Amino acid sequence: MKSLAEMMGPALKQTGSAGALMPIWTRVVGEVIAKHTRPVRWQGTQLVIRCDAEAWRAALEAEKPSLARKLSAALGEAAVSSIVLEVG
């Protein structure tokens, strides 16, 4: 049986908006990181994450492949192939 997150993944990607992913993002990265980052949009299977400071972008840079795998596991197979971090 698929989880709700797995069923929502394809629908969320079709909208292009990633804001609805915040609960899943928070579960994957934890409360502290989630307070300084947020999913903003999909670009195919690439997920764009906005960081509130360059320090957070730099800290998460090496974690991108791991985060993409964890998000794909939560959302369904190959939902997130890569993550782009931006500051804003």
Q: pLDDT 10s digit of each residue in the chain, 88 long? A: 444 444 455 545 455 468 788 999 999 999 999 999 999 998 889 999 999 999 999 999 999 999 999 999 998 878 899 999 999 9
* Total domains in the fold of the chain: 1
How does DSSP classify residue 8?
Answer: H
**CATH number reported for the structural domain that contains residue 61 in this entry:** 3.30.300.180
**Max alpha carbon distance in the chain (Å)?**
40
Helix (H) or strand (E) holding 22: helix 22-29
pTM score, two decimals? Answer: 0.79
- CB-based burial label for 1 (10 Å; 0-12, 13-18, 19+): exposed
| Burial readout 44-81 (b: 16 or more C-beta within 10 A, e: otherwise) | eeebebbbeeeebbeebeeebeebbebbbebbbeebbe
Determine the Cα–Cα distance for residues 9 and 22; give it in Å rounded to an integer: 12
What is the residue range of 43's domain? Answer: 4-87
